[in-house]
Structure 1
Amino acid sequence: MGQKPKISALSFISLFTLMLSRLKTGSVATRSLASTGRFLLRPTMARSLPAQHKIIRSYGQDQSSTAEKETIAKLLYNIGSRKEVEQYLRHFSSVESQKFAVIKVGGAVLTDELDTLASALTFLNRVGLYPIVLHGAGPQLNRLLEDANVEPQYNEGIRITDAKTLEIARKVFQQENLKLVEALERHGTRARPIPSGVFVADYLDREKYGYVGKIKSVNKSGIESAIRAGTLPILTSLAETPDGQILNVNADVAAAELATVLEPLKIVFLNEKNGLYHGVTGKKIDVINLDEEYEDLLKEPWVKYGTKLKIKECKELLDRLPRSSSVAIISAGHLHKELFTDSGAGTLIRRGHKLFKYDALDKIDPDKLRHILEAEDPAIKSGQTSVASYLRDLQQKKVNVYMDEPGQVLAVVTQDPTVADAPAVLEKFVTNKTAALNNVPDNLWTNIKKDHPALTWEITKEEEDGNLDKSWHFERAEGSLRNPHTGKTLFFYGIEGADKVKKTFDGFSGRRQFSTYAQQRRGYSTQSRKNVGLIGARGYTGRELINLIDSHPHLNLTHVSSRELEGKPLEGYNKEKLTYVNLKPQDLKDHDEVDAWILALPNGVCHPFVHQIEQDVKDGKLQDKSLIDLSADYRFEESWTYGLPEFNREKLAGATRISNPGCYATGAQMSIKPLLPFIQSPPTVFGVSGYSGAGTKPSNKNDPAFLKDNIIPYALTGHIHEREVSYQLGTPIHFTPHVAPWFQGIALTVNIPLNKSMSSRDVKDLFSEFYQNEKLVKIIEGEPPLVRDIAGKHNVSIGGFGVQADGKRAVIVTTIDNLLKGAATQALQNLNLSLGFDEYAGIPSQ
């Protein structure tokens, strides 16, 4: 089988349902999701979507409708990277509305998962998409037939439909159709019932099957009218003869006929099992590429009965459709993940392309080779080299070239035959967007890995921004190393032994590495990977940390602990499959393989964990560990190192007890520290945060409905961050926090009385010099920084630099993402310094 490369589906739908439950009555087009609920988690979820109205097809042009679509699109970032989500949104929005997706819903789904289905469909509609839904009602029909003492009859798998059966079927279909429409409308989604009038049919064989139809044509007008009116069309599989006789048609058959006429990007069959399963291993089949696998697949002894029939039906359907179309077999709760992420969730069936391997350049179509290199290779597009010179250099090497049939993906692997046991080198791996969206690179990668047990490859900064981003490479590598001088990253797999790995790294870096702190910060470490455990993984910051560790070159996440999510699979982490656990303090001694624990717990909760670890270390039951505490519990403890790297870097290197600063506290200190020698009297800090800063426990401070058109001041005196900043800076400050109706990001306006007269330029120059070597501090010229520009960013932005006319009061404006540099990103800086890695390892460059 091929592989398909990223909140839990149940959690996602639950969050979305919670959000919908908070909607007030009124037009969907005039609601703003900024006022709908406290559901907006994210790995990177509240990162702004530039020009989102261009990505998502609009229904209504008012400002609140646009805000709704932008906000709900951000919820998608719970399940995948921003890049892949945006790719799919553009992809789906590039076709006519009726060509997005045909979704066939089984009758059992309507009975068992109605609310989940309605939430999933509502979600799609909220991002401007209009799936065409066609449902069956088999189980319901059987139940009513049994009540009427009518025994169902089948011939060759087709239900024989007599007059009595048809009478009951018509009633059942109408009931189930209205049931789904009403469920959607309860969620605030407009839907139109279309129980008949779409399919025109003749009798399949009246003598043999009775009132069973064979579809001859499809009337699209009702579907198109529904979509033009901004409603989801909800269809049944009932057909009619030209003279008006109703006929029964199998819902799978009707969905296939509908797809043949509409040619959608996606044909989705919803089932309870969430896909097709391998008959021997019992594992779900992720992807079936028909052009490559169909014939061999049908020869497998376990491919029989319903599985065989479904694969054959999909083959026949996709052979009639454009190659861009695909079939997904998925459960209702996983629908969003299947559609918007590379990893998917169910079984994806597509035609794909045949893949070819060449051992000589003269066997390849030169025009096809030239076309993809000129279109997609950064070195050739930038003029660094030409196609001709690159191909000339390849003539001198032992080479394998991998391509797909239309020439949308290219990989070039070379081998040095003069060096024993030398790993192969992946010199080129380029793909266009269409192939990336259809996962063709993954199929090619599978073939490369079969042929080459050990492999190294490098990517440049330009390639990180290509159609395959950096995370794609991390997921396929066993190790990596970034060279900060060249900006390149080296990846490898299959290289056994520390000496061979070091040799590979030394060859890449061109110089020996040392383990001193200064060298590590400016260079990179050759240390092996370290294991990290995360306690408190349910919250917003926990999700961000999982995301960052997932792309970290030296860290493995081995434990994620959450009482609420215990037993559920961890979504969004790709290095290995993990399940949430509920760790108690006494459990930690049984996990000596963990090198560092991150405590992402509420204030006052982590002390038992710290105490137990220190007692177990004292008793010899456990090796000492690095502990990063994200709460306020140890920010005033002298025995702990305060984790603000820009001010405390040397102490953090190798530290094993680190208290991560608060988000407001980080921004406030960075706003004041350069002016500390010139402060006349206590600075005043006016802070406004998005509601993610209020956590996930329901309250007015994280209720968008309560926050709409509002800003809430709280903790007017004595806030923990006021005490924290005063303690760390050694001078009192006055701080008043507020919460506002955006999700993440903080704005701080800081008034600082000065003991000497200064100009705006003096203040700006002072800050520029103070932070001149800090990668995560950005000094803003001109207008003050805006909070909308910081969401999803890993830096702090400092600007404003206003000075009162007499030069004795400076006003600094600072913005910071409270979930990233205010929490998760800073925690990763501290973890890197504690474990001896490059401080910025795993932190995306801005």
Structure 2
Amino acid sequence: MQSFARPLGRQLARLARGLPQQRLASALVQRTPATRDARADSAQRPRGFATSRYDDGSARSAVINVLNNIGSKREVQQYLAQFTSVSSQQFAVIKVGGAILTDYVDELCASLRNLNQMGLFPVIIHGAGPQLNKTLEEAGVEPRYNEGIRITDGKTMGIARKLFLQENCKLVEALESWGVRARPITSGVLMADYKDRDTYEFVGEVNQVNVQSIRSAIADGYIPVLTCMAETAEGQALNVNADKAAAELAKALVPLKIVYLSEKGGIHDKETGKLIEAINLDEEYDEYMNKSWVIHGTRSKIRDIKTLLDDLPRSSSVAIIHPESLERELFTHSGAGTLIRRGTKLQQASSLAEIGDLSQLKQTLIRDREGLDSSSVVERYLESLKSRDFRAYYDENMEALAIVLPPTSGSSNSLAHLATLTMSRSAWLSNIADNVFQNLKRDFPKLAWTVKQDDENLTWFSEKADGSIARRGEVLFWYGIESPEEVRELMSEFVQHGRQMFGDINLESQLHRAAAAAERIRAGAASLMGNRRSGPPQQQQQARAFSTSVRPARSPIMAAVRSAQQSRTYATTNPNPPLGIKNREKDYPSKVALIGARGYTGQALIDLLNRHPNMDLCHVSSRELAGKKLKGYTKKDITYENLSPDDVRRMAERKEIDCWVMALPNGVCKPFVDAIDESGDKECLVIDLSADYRFTPTWTYGLPELVQRSKIAGAKRISNPGCYATAAQVGIAPLLPLLAAAPANPTVFGVSGYSGAGTKPSPKNDIENLTGNLIPYSLTDHIHEREISAQLGRDVAFIPHVAVWFQGIHHTISLPLAETTTSRDVRQLYQDRYHNEKLITVKGESPLVKNIAGRHGVEVGGFAVHSGGKRAVVNVTIDNLLKGAATQCLQNINLAMGYAEYEGIPLE
């Protein structure tokens, strides 16, 4: 088979040799953009090599975006290993269902454009089943089926052929409108025989695939787009099943991945209604084929996929996914749909004798250890296993090995401990690790384990867990725990004793201590059952790899986590405490006081603190609401107070508060800050949400995406940026080096919802006055104009307005440029700048206020450039109460208090 080299692959391969993940991303960022005309470039290249209009510059941006979406170093390595050496036509075959063409064509085109910008050319084959049903109904043709297969008579065939050509043309045109060169290939590729002419008439089964036209399209820089129409040797068109056609195409092209795009997003277990994330054919094929609900189309699909994968290399896989998950599925094995692969059959043993080859076992355990004593440590470890109940999981070559300490026989608690998990690089890349965890979850409903906080596969472990807690450089993970008492005891043991009590998946000889810890947890949980502390249901919290967290819809667990943290005091004796917690005895959770909680921002922050597992809101001050009960905070009952500066000073002298949040109007908070300064408590954190300290050099300006996070992490006085100012700076910063010199300065036309006018009645928050209206105000010298200009280091004109919606800001930013550029280059700059920012989304189209309201990030888009090439226009949206205020405040608190930056912030 002719090979089509992929320029991007060679670039990444060179970059990847010995290059850590962060340096790889940095190297990609630093590469100079180079744009070429596709036709001119193609003329200079030998025919047979894939070309793309986006070779280096846009490819760099696209790769960064993909690597940003890949959660762990393991998956980055997997991408580099698999995709940097394959020929382009071997990358992926993507079967597109008819419903995708009608309902999700934009999502499909966007993903294919990103792949094409990386120099990749997936082969597309599409169906049109729903469209055909509708067209036949309109034509008065009654559909006929036999064993689920459409009988295609002459009239149906004529309608189908015309329709399929129309749908093919529509998809090609849609791709072209997104800047993707696509070539329709509607004949000459799929050859077929009649399936059973007497029964099915013009229905065929593919017997040959001619790939030359596909190769030619890719060589010319086009994505090939095929229909599921085949033809006989005599030229008669036949209707073929799209899944089967995609399978035959895959057999001929031998791609790394075969993707079936489906609006359902995968295969669902009809007994539980849950999505099946993965099917390991080597271990689970017979099990699935025997399930009562696996019938008709589902049974045929699984059987056909197995037949296909049996003929392909073991590295190939089939994914059934929704189009919006296409990129993640192509570059990882943790997509959102159903992944079907051959997998690796694992062996199990519950004694060393069952394992057999102890020399191989020793070498497997030694490969993770360093130092001269590695052999003796392993010997002691194996000796301890002789007197312990355990279960080992491993593949034939012991590329992967897991050792689990099961719960004690007869115990009412079923918590098991993962004592050892060792994987070779090839085991990670071939996803044996996923196979191991499938077995663990099947055999052990409840499991706990620890890893180092700097483990390169931490994100992968987080995906496998229901919750986690970080302590002294270690992270405790668990899954399957339903009892709040068990969670509290588990956390308690971990906080007190760390990894010594829970074993070590990187192998330390601590099995007996781990077993003893497990017994204490079980006993503790049993004793607590008589004195249960039931917390109220909590709002959903996104699971995270760092600090304590629990996945959504596990409110009893969340209650237990919070209860455990609130009921214990843990002194910080860690020799390496979190950045921002220095030389001070620290209680957990951190105690927070909110001064000025009546406004919208204060309420938004209260909601976020309520979600945060490491924050305890202790005092809420509001002169107007003093004596009333605080609503929306469910961790405990709190009554509004009217704290004076003297009250604050006394509390600070007693070091009662770890973090003071000033949510007061401009010009009001200075007496409170002075009181804290006078108290002598130099370790407490003070964050001001007003503009009072945004121009004070001794205070740190807290915009994490644009200010060094290490600076925020080491700060004790932080000024929270303004909402308008945050959005404007995010929208301008990437283009700062390209801006024209003064007096040609950027102009920001901003429109805010009326929540930005505060709760005090005024014409700017009078809905009747705002309806059908747009109110400009402070047209020059607005405080945010000064703030934006000061932070960016150049003058910026800001023109604010208020509109009738409640929350959300829209900016239209006009940026004069020093040199001629294009909208594509502008967008690339923004993608590069924000590629690793979880709260900033860069998109092609202009963002809308209605899509950002109630959400915690910033959206940047539009990216128009004047025909003269020297003026760019960018649109930015932000929720003024969240990322514009409360969410950003919590980011700053987390950084300064030593927690994960996004802890307590729902990431969408």
Q: TM-score range by the shorter chain?
A: 0.5 to 0.7
Q: C-alpha separation between the residues in 1 aligned to 2:792 and 2:202? A: 80
Please tell me whether the aligned partners of residues 403 and 409 of structure 1 are also in contact (alpha carbons under 8 angstroms).
Answer: yes
Q: C-alpha separation between the residues in 2 aligned to 1:721 and 1:384? A: 64
Partner of residue 476, structure 1 = 465
> Given the superposition, is the C-alpha separation of residues 669 and 213 from structure 1 closer, same or farther in structure 2, using an over 3 Å criterion?
closer
Which of 56, 59, 81 in structure 2 is aligned with 1:69?
59
Q: SS at 1:274's partner residue?
A: coil
Cα deviation for residue 184 of structure 1 reads 0.3
Partner of residue 189, structure 1 = 180
> Given the superposition, is the C-alpha separation of residues 218 and 128 from structure 1 closer, same or farther in structure 2, using an over 3 Å criterion?
same
Q: C-alpha separation between the residues in 1 aligned to 2:667 and 2:389? A: 58
Cα deviation for residue 489 of structure 1 reads 3.8
Output one character per residue of 1:308-359: Cα deviation in whole Å (capped at 9) or x when no partner: 2222222222222222222111222232233345541112222222233211
Q: C-alpha separation between the residues in 1 aligned to 2:361 and 2:493? A: 33
1:736 aligns with 2:725: no
Partner of residue 830, structure 1 = 893
1:623 aligns with 2:630: no
Q: C-alpha separation between the residues in 2 aligned to 1:154 and 1:434? A: 47
Matches within 5 A, 1:87-486: 87=77, 89-90=79-80, 91-364=82-355, 366=357, 369=361, 372-373=364-365, 377-379=368-370, 390-392=381-383, 394-405=385-396, 407-414=398-405, 424-436=416-428, 439-449=431-441, 451-452=443-444, 455-460=447-452, 464-465=455-456, 468-469=457-458, 472-473=461-462, 476=465, 478-483=467-472
1:508 aligns with 2:498: yes
Q: C-alpha separation between the residues in 1 aligned to 2:385 and 2:605? A: 54
Cα deviation for residue 98 of structure 1 reads 1.4
Where does the alignment leave 5 or more consecutive residues of structure 2 unmatched? 1-6, 9-20, 42-50, 502-532, 554-598, 632-636, 641-657, 691-699, 715-720, 749-779, 798-830, 839-881
Please tell me whether the aligned partners of residues 106 and 271 of structure 1 are also in contact (alpha carbons under 8 angstroms).
Answer: yes
Q: C-alpha separation between the residues in 1 aligned to 2:34 and 2:422? A: 30
Amino acid at match of 1:156: E
Cα deviation for residue 229 of structure 1 reads 1.7
Cα deviation for residue 361 of structure 1 reads 1.8
Please tell me whether the aligned partners of residues 111 and 327 of structure 2 are also in contact (alpha carbons under 8 angstroms).
Answer: yes
Please tell me whether the aligned partners of residues 271 and 331 of structure 1 are also in contact (alpha carbons under 8 angstroms).
Answer: yes
Output one character per residue of 1:502-549: Cα deviation in whole Å (capped at 9) or x when no partner: 3443333789xxxxxxxxxxxxxxxx99999999xxxxxxxxxx99x8
Cα deviation for residue 594 of structure 1 reads 1.4
Output one character per residue of 1:601-635: Cα deviation in whole Å (capped at 9) or x when no partner: xxxxxxxx998898377446552799887999679
Q: C-alpha separation between the residues in 2 aligned to 1:641 and 1:45? A: 39
Amino acid at match of 2:794: T
1:701 aligns with 2:754: no
Q: SS at 1:224's partner residue?
A: helix
Amino acid at match of 2:106: D
Matches within 5 A, 1:592-741: 594=610, 615=625, 618-619=628-629, 622-623=637-638, 637-638=669-670, 650-651=681-682, 653=684, 661-663=701-703, 701=732, 713=745, 735-736=793-794
Please tell me whether the aligned partners of residues 205 and 240 of structure 2 are also in contact (alpha carbons under 8 angstroms).
Answer: yes
Q: SS at 2:260's partner residue?
A: strand
Output one character per residue of 1:716-759: Cα deviation in whole Å (capped at 9) or x when no partner: 99796998899xxxxx99953689xxxxxxxxxxxxxxxxxxxx
Q: C-alpha separation between the residues in 1 aligned to 2:228 and 2:374? A: 57
Cα deviation for residue 426 of structure 1 reads 2.4
> Given the superposition, is the C-alpha separation of residues 344 and 597 from structure 1 closer, same or farther in structure 2, using an over 3 Å criterion?
same
Please tell me whether the aligned partners of residues 547 and 900 of structure 2 are also in contact (alpha carbons under 8 angstroms).
Answer: no
Q: C-alpha separation between the residues in 2 aligned to 1:641 and 1:555? A: 32
> Given the superposition, is the C-alpha separation of residues 378 and 344 from structure 1 closer, same or farther in structure 2, using an over 3 Å criterion?
farther
Q: SS at 1:181's partner residue?
A: helix
Partner of residue 751, structure 1 = none
Identity of aligned residues (%): 35
Farther-moved stretch of structure 1 (436-445 vs 424-433):
436-445
Farther-moved stretch of structure 1 (156-165 vs 413-422):
413-422
Please tell me whether the aligned partners of residues 830 and 839 of structure 1 are also in contact (alpha carbons under 8 angstroms).
Answer: no
Partner of residue 551, structure 1 = 545
> What is the Cα-based RMSD across aligned positions, in Å?
5.9
Please tell me whether the aligned partners of residues 95 and 242 of structure 2 are also in contact (alpha carbons under 8 angstroms).
Answer: yes
Cα deviation for residue 703 of structure 1 reads 9.2
> Given the superposition, is the C-alpha separation of residues 481 and 143 from structure 1 closer, same or farther in structure 2, using an over 3 Å criterion?
closer
Please tell me whether the aligned partners of residues 190 and 231 of structure 2 are also in contact (alpha carbons under 8 angstroms).
Answer: yes
Q: C-alpha separation between the residues in 2 aligned to 1:276 and 1:326? A: 15
Please tell me whether the aligned partners of residues 128 and 167 of structure 2 are also in contact (alpha carbons under 8 angstroms).
Answer: yes
Cα deviation for residue 195 of structure 1 reads 0.6
> Given the superposition, is the C-alpha separation of residues 247 and 501 from structure 1 closer, same or farther in structure 2, using an over 3 Å criterion?
closer
Q: SS at 2:299's partner residue?
A: helix
Partner of residue 50, structure 1 = 27
Q: C-alpha separation between the residues in 1 aligned to 2:708 and 2:491? A: 43
> Given the superposition, is the C-alpha separation of residues 75 and 471 from structure 1 closer, same or farther in structure 2, using an over 3 Å criterion?
same
Q: C-alpha separation between the residues in 2 aligned to 1:334 and 1:252? A: 19
Cα deviation for residue 476 of structure 1 reads 1.6
Q: C-alpha separation between the residues in 1 aligned to 2:469 and 2:710? A: 33
Where does the alignment leave 5 or more consecutive residues of structure 1 unmatched? 1-28, 31-43, 512-527, 536-545, 560-582, 600-608, 675-688, 727-731, 740-786, 795-818
Cα deviation for residue 133 of structure 1 reads 0.4
Task: Using CA pairs under 8 Å that are at least 6 residues apart, name the structure with larger relative contact order, 1 or 2.
Answer: 1
Output one character per residue of 1:71-114: Cα deviation in whole Å (capped at 9) or x when no partner: 23343467553646634542333422112211111222222322
Q: C-alpha separation between the residues in 2 aligned to 1:474 and 1:443? A: 14
Amino acid at match of 1:594: N
Give the number of aligned pairs: 637
Please tell me whether the aligned partners of residues 80 and 341 of structure 1 are also in contact (alpha carbons under 8 angstroms).
Answer: yes
Please tell me whether the aligned partners of residues 598 and 628 of structure 1 are also in contact (alpha carbons under 8 angstroms).
Answer: no
Q: C-alpha separation between the residues in 2 aligned to 1:427 and 1:189? A: 50
Farther-moved stretch of structure 1 (241-250 vs 266-275):
241-250
Please tell me whether the aligned partners of residues 459 and 489 of structure 1 are also in contact (alpha carbons under 8 angstroms).
Answer: yes
Cα deviation for residue 172 of structure 1 reads 2.1
Cα deviation for residue 228 of structure 1 reads 1.8
Please tell me whether the aligned partners of residues 323 and 351 of structure 1 are also in contact (alpha carbons under 8 angstroms).
Answer: yes
Cα deviation for residue 669 of structure 1 reads 13
